[in-house]
């Protein structure tokens, strides 16, 4: 009998959440989340931060030039 995977408040496992964060980074800059320096992804997932917000945060930390 297997144990169920842990999910955050949004119902996402860490693996699912990380995949969505990777897609968000790719949409913004064409790279993957693994192409960037390590971020605090586990805490972001555990704190129920959206994958898109996490992607934006780690890109801002690296000086990505958002045109706003």
Q: Is residue 57 part of a domain?
A: yes
Pairs from 22-31 (Cβ < 8 Å, separation ≥ 24): 23/51, 24/51, 24/52, 24/54, 24/55, 24/56, 25/55, 25/58, 25/59, 28/55, 28/56, 28/59, 28/64, 29/59, 29/64
Please count the structural domains in the chain.
Answer: 1
Q: Is residue 66 part of a domain?
A: no
Q: Is residue 50 part of a domain?
A: yes
Q: Is residue 68 part of a domain?
A: no
Q: How high is the pLDDT of residue 59?
A: 97
Q: Is residue 2 part of a domain?
A: no
Q: Give the domain extent around 24.
A: 14-61
Q: How high is the pLDDT of residue 16?
A: 96
Per-residue pLDDT of the chain (68 residues; tens, 9 = 90+): 666 799 999 999 999 999 999 999 999 999 999 999 999 999 999 999 999 999 999 999 999 998 75
Q: Is residue 7 part of a domain?
A: no
What pTM did the predictor assign? 0.89
Q: Is residue 48 part of a domain?
A: yes
């Amino acid at each position: 009998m297997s144990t169920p995977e842990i999910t955050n408040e949004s119902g996402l496992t860490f693996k699912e959440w990380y995949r969505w964060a990777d897609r968000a980074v790719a949409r913004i800059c064409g790279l993957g989340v693994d192409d960037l320096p390590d971020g605090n992804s586990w805490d972001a997932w555990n704190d129920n931060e959206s994958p898109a917000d996490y992607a934006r945060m780690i890109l801002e930390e690296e000086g990505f030039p958002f045109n706003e």
